[in-house]
């Protein structure tokens, strides 16, 4: 058994809205908090943990691949779903890069070393685990890039069909990877992607691993996988915290997970 493995300490879903109402781990509340959402904003949820039960030796392990080594601090992971994601190298950048920021050391966390070449694998390990836990007949995602590829790969690993709703301008390389993982790819104009996704979720019962709402709520389980990047950096820097982290940000799930 790897160091740090053990049962999840997750206790439920917790709203980020006023008062932080709590809900069970399932069903996944992918359309926002029922109590604190409104027409203007749909409040996202996160996962709550019984951190008092976390073992003190959890961080006495090397940052190697396989997020199941962080299982106590993640939602319940489906058995056998991990493909060795995480444990990506932290690379020191050349002196010229450091010189541009006053001589401070600069490092790059190389997330291209994940199984489908992006950090989205960390999210989809958790989100597809939720699909398995919910007994969903399949996985659905709206994406034209890395998120769709990762969702398709983890759905295939879980033995679930995957519908990827994408845009007509999807790149040939991305399309080839989606099809290689067995995904059904449907290209529609951008404004039609989310209405189609919501229809598939409502009528076919597929589990959504991307956003369904007008304002971004995302998947409550998914961003938990991004926390592991911070855990790894802490260990790779000799149990030190970096002075600054620069994060590519769209919906902000990676940024939130790191935070």
Tell me how far apart the alpha carbons of residues 93 and 75 are, in angstroms, rounded to a whole number: 34
pLDDT exceeds cutoff 50 at 201: yes
Report yes or no on 167 lying in a domain.
Answer: yes
Report yes or no on 164 lying in a domain.
Answer: yes
Report yes or no on 156 lying in a domain.
Answer: yes
Structure letter (DSSP) for residue 28: -
- Residue 98 confidence (pLDDT): 73
Rg of the Cα atoms in the chain: 18
Tell me how far apart the alpha carbons of residues 183 and 151 are, in angstroms, rounded to a whole number: 9
Structure letter (DSSP) for residue 117: S
Tell me how far apart the alpha carbons of residues 197 and 99 are, in angstroms, rounded to a whole number: 47
The CATH number linked to 167 is 3.40.50.1100
| Total structural domains within the chain | 1
Report yes or no on 166 lying in a domain.
Answer: yes
pLDDT digits (tens, 9 = 90+) for 130-154: 999 999 999 999 999 999 999 999 9
Report yes or no on 26 lying in a domain.
Answer: no
pLDDT exceeds cutoff 50 at 2: no
pLDDT exceeds cutoff 90 at 77: yes
| Mean pLDDT, the chain, integer | 94
Tell me how far apart the alpha carbons of residues 51 and 69 are, in angstroms, rounded to a whole number: 16
């Amino acid at each position: 058994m790897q160091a740090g493995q053990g049962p999840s300490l997750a206790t439920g879903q917790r709203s980020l809205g006023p008062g932080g109402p709590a809900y069970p781990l399932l069903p996944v509340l992918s359309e926002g908090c029922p109590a604190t959402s409104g027409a203007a904003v749909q409040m996202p949820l996160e996962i709550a943990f019984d951190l008092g039960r976390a073992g003190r030796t959890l961080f006495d392990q090397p940052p190697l691949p396989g997020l199941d080594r962080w299982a106590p601090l993640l939602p319940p992971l489906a058995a056998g779903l991990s493909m060795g994601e995480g444990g990506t190298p932290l690379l020191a950048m050349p002196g010229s890069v450091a010189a541009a920021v006053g001589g401070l050391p600069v490092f790059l966390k190389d997330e291209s070393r994940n199984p489908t070449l992006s950090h989205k694998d960390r999210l989809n390990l958790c989100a597809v685990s939720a699909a398995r836990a919910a007994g969903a007949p399949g996985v659905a995602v709206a994406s034209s890039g890395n998120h769709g590829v990762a969702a398709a790969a983890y759905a295939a690993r879980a033995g679930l069909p995957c519908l990827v709703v994408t845009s007509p301008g999807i790149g040939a390389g991305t399309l080839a990877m989606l099809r290689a993982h067995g995904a059904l790819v449907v290209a529609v104009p951008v404004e039609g992607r989310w209405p189609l996704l919501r229809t598939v979720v409502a009528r076919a019962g597929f589990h959504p691993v991307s956003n369904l709402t007008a304002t971004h709520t995302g998947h409550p389980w998914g961003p938990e996988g991004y926390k592991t990047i911070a855990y790894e950096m802490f260990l790779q820097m000799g149990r030190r915290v970096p002075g600054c982290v620069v994060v590519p940000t769209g919906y902000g799930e990676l940024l939130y997970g790191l935070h």
